[in-house]
Amino acid sequence: MGVAKYIKNKADAIEKVIYQSGIEVKPFYGPKDLEATGFDYEVDLGDPGQYPFTRSLHPQGYRSRAWTTRQYTGFGTPQETNERFKYMIAHGQNGLNVAFDLPTQMGYDSDNPKAEGEVGRVGMAVDSLQDFEIAFKDIQFDHIGSGLTINAVASIMLAMYQATAEKYGYSKETISATPQNDILKEMIGRGAWIFPVEPSVRLVCDTIEYSVKELPRCNPVSICGYHIRESGATPSQEVGFAFEIAKSYIDNLLDRGLAPDDFVGRFSFNLNVYGNLWEQIAKFRAARKLWAKLLKEEYSVTEKKNLFLRGLFGGGGSGLTKEQPENNIIRGAYYGLAAALSGAQTTALCSFDEAFTIPTPRAALLSLRTLEILMEEVGLRDTVDPLAGSYFVETITKEMEDKIKNEMTRVQKMGGMVHAISSGYIQREVARQAYEFEKSLQNGEIIKVGVNKYTEGEQPDVEVHKYNDSWVGAQISSLKALRRTRDNQEVNRSLKALEKTSKSQNNVMPALVDCCRAYATVGEMAGVFRDVFGEWDEPCLF
């Protein structure tokens, strides 16, 4: 039943419940259980808005401000993306979350043979500044925050975002962008990596360092336990691995002479709401606390706001099913509830049709409405952290803290996340968990309504996004026209400068902004990095 192991007796009564992170749940909890964990209100919780922020980052929680909603957008051409942005903003969304197509994510131009069949398929195709100018036309850069869902070439996209904003008259100090920019999680799950581990981490940290110095309103990295979880990791691994990834970036930045208080406040996290309701709530509460403790105790961070675990708690993709897809609307509401009960600062839900197609506007809007209903109708803004003090929730929050720490210790023993990924350990471990989960689903130990229980008739079909060759042609012809009409001397000069910077220890960002302004293409800029850094040789052993 559900995303946990349930052991039943002959009378179908539940004898044992074991969560994915390994926590065994008792039939009931009382004061003694909480006492046994060593629970102390001041040390473990503190009031909302007080260290270690287990209860909430802000003293008033959702009373002072409801969560920010950020449904994933980005479709085909820059023009279509622009229309979708305006639609979502008109319907009350206050942040954009931009999806890019795979060629862009992998640093190839739309006319590269490797891009064939993929241009604009899973997101917007971006070849040059010209495309960003269209996509972000009439967007108020100083009001709307944009999540740029891209990693290997996040540095290029952030540079392009700045160049676009400046072109529309916004100074770089006023823009707010959150490039995902977490390459280490791409190497664990999702797979949109290009360069070897070390230069990849350098690019992430160049982006962070540049933002700290030049882009005061940008959060230059969003560390994604989310995709690690989607790839099969348990909730405690999701958070433990995400924190170890964050430490790899922090250590790189410390080597550059930055102080933790200069930059950790700019880190945000993307964590998954999918799973057992209680385990998720315990995970988010424990994560807020552990992150604050880690920064304070290991990195001597002093500024209160820099201790906040900010981020998006949402999604839930792997919980959705293509069978009986309307059930996903109900699932989404409960995932949203888990996020609200955990005090999520920003959230978004996967749309109910995402298990079998690219979300339709109607389905994306329904997800947004689900989140609005939770905030406006159900009563989730009434009081902060309503589950605090529950014998059960507090006990498992303490237990979750230990489980997360154990995962972190295992990675540390391997010499940190860079080593654990280079050796393939993390990838093997996540694949093993995914395999165990799939076996449990197939043998009925884990129940999925409509999939292995309460099934109905014919299985619905998946829908492969039909893809419009006519605008692929248009995208490619406008790219070719650009290559003819731009100042190619200026392009070559800026690319040479980028090459020189890439080979040095200097930050690549100013050179990238320069390349973007000259209308150098994504493929040209990433091509410089490919020449200088090479490509990653992924460990493929099980």
Partner 1 sequence: MKDKKKIRILIAKPGLDGHDRGAKVVSLALRDAGMEVLYSGLHQSVDQIIAAAVQEAVDVIGLSIMTGAHLPICARLMKDLEEKKLSDIFVVIGGVIPKNDIPKLEEIGVKGIFPGGTRFEFIIDSIRALF
Least distance CB 359 / partner 1 (angstroms): 15
Which position among 103, 220, 315, 359 is part of the footprint of partner 1 (CB under 8 A)? 103
Q: Residue from 65, 213, 432, 503 that binds partner 1 (CB under 8 A)? A: 432
* The only residue of 86, 114, 362, 453 in contact with partner 1, by rule CB under 8 A: 114
Q: Name which of 539, 541, 497, 536 is nearest 516 in CA terms.
A: 497
How far, in Å, CA of 185 to CA of 211, rounded?
A: 21
Q: Which is nearer to partner 1, 11 or 462 (CB)?
A: 462
Strand 14-19 and strand 24-25: pairing? antiparallel
- Residue 96: what are its φ and ψ, rounded to 5°? -105, 150
Q: Of 45-53, 109-117, 135-143, 154-162, which segment contacts partner 1 by CB under 8 A?
A: 109-117
Q: Which stretch binds partner 1 (CB under 8 A): 100-108, 260-268, 369-377, 506-514?
A: 100-108
End-to-end CA distance of the chain: 29
For partner 1, the closer CB: 63 or 465:
465
Burial class (CB in 10 A: 0-12, 13-18, 19+), 38: exposed
Give the span between the Cα atoms of 281 and 277, in whole angstroms: 6
The nearest distance, CB 508 to partner 1, in angstroms, is: 23
Residues 116-155 binding partner 1 (CB under 8 A) are: 117-118, 121-122
Q: Which of 7, 330, 464, 481 binds partner 1 (CB under 8 A)?
A: 464
Q: Is residue 192 part of the contact set for partner 1 (CB under 8 A)?
A: yes
217 to 256: interface string for partner 1, x by CB under 8 A: -------------xxx------------------------
Decide if residue 444 touches partner 1 (CB under 8 A).
no
Residue 155 CB burial class (10 angstroms; 0-12, 13-18, ≥19)? buried
The secondary element (H helix, E strand) that includes residue 69 is strand 68-69
Count of alpha carbons within 13 Å of 112, Cβ hemisphere only? 21
Residues with Cβ within 8 Å of 271's Cβ and at least 6 positions away in sequence, in order, are 225, 226, 229, 238, 239, 242, 283, 284, 287, 311, 312, 313
From residue 168 to residue 187, the character string flagging contacts with partner 1 as x (rule: CB under 8 A) and all else as - is ------------------x-
Decide whether 185 or 266 has the Cβ nearer to partner 1. 185
d(CA 409, CA 244): 9
What does the alpha-carbon distance between residue 193 and residue 226 come to, in Å, rounded to a whole number? 16
Provide the minimum distance between the beta carbon of 116 and partner 1 in the complex, in angstroms, as a whole number: 8
Secondary structure (3-state) at 312? strand
The yes or no reply on residue 540 touching partner 1 (CB under 8 A) is yes
**357 alpha-carbon distance from chain centroid:** 20
Are the CB atoms for 78 and 493 separated by under 8 Å? no
CB nearer to partner 1: pick between 209 and 230: 230
Output the CA–CA distances (angstroms, integers) from residue 146 to 12, 89, 120, 162, 276, in the order listed: 50, 12, 19, 12, 30
Q: Which of 198, 303, 463, 531 binds partner 1 (CB under 8 A)?
A: 463
**Residue (48 or 189) nearer to partner 1, CB:** 189
Pick 92 or 444: Cβ nearer partner 1? 444
Query: Phi/psi at 421 (nearest 5 deg)?
Result: -85, -40
Residue nearer to partner 1 on the CB measure, 50 or 452? 452
With beta carbons less than 8 A apart as the criterion, state whether 82 and 96 touch. no
Rule CB under 8 A: say whether 190 interacts with partner 1: yes
Question: Which of 67, 100, 193, 195 is close enough to bind partner 1 by CB under 8 A?
Answer: 193
451 binds partner 1 (CB under 8 A): yes
Both structure tokens of 11: 């009378």
Q: Does 381 help bind partner 1 (rule: CB under 8 A)?
A: no
What's the closest the beta carbon of residue 467 comes to partner 1, in angstroms?
8
Q: How far is the CB of 430 from partner 1 (least distance, A)?
A: 8
**Which region, judged by CB under 8 A, interacts with partner 1, from 174-182, 189-197, 342-350, 369-377?**
189-197
Neighbouring C-alpha atoms within 13 Å toward the C-beta of 452: 13
- List binders of partner 1 among 296-335 (CB under 8 A): 322
**Residue 439 found at the interface with partner 1 (CB under 8 A):** yes
Which one of 92, 191, 415, 444 is in contact with partner 1 (CB under 8 A)?
Answer: 191
Question: By three-state DSSP, how is residue 309 classified?
Answer: coil
Told to check if 454 binds partner 1 by CB under 8 A, we report no
Nearest-angstrom CA–CA distance, 239 and 398? 14
* Only segment of 39-47, 157-165, 173-181, 430-438 that touches partner 1 (CB under 8 A): 430-438
Least separation in angstroms between CB 126 and partner 1: 15
Instruction: Collapse the DSSP code of 311 into the 3-class scheme (helix H, G, I; strand E, B; otherwise coil) and give the result.
Output: strand
Distance between CA atoms of residues 316 and 279, nearest Å: 14
Point out which span in 252-260, 390-398, 436-444, 512-520 binds partner 1 (CB under 8 A).
436-444
Burial class of residue 286 in the structure, from the number of CB atoms within 10 Å of its CB (0-12 exposed, 13-18 middle, 19+ buried): buried
**Is residue 476 a contact residue for partner 1 (CB under 8 A)?**
no
Q: What is the layout of strands, in order, in the sheet containing 95-99?
A: 72-73, 95-99, 145-149, 177-179
* Total residues at interface with partner 1 (CB under 8 A): 38
10 Å Cβ neighbour count for 125? 29
- Span from 38-46, 127-135, 214-222, 461-469 in contact with partner 1 (CB under 8 A): 461-469
> Which residues are near partner 1 by CB under 8 A?
102-103, 105-106, 108, 114-115, 117-118, 121-122, 186, 189-193, 230-232, 322, 431-432, 434-435, 438-439, 442, 451, 461-465, 467, 538, 540, 542
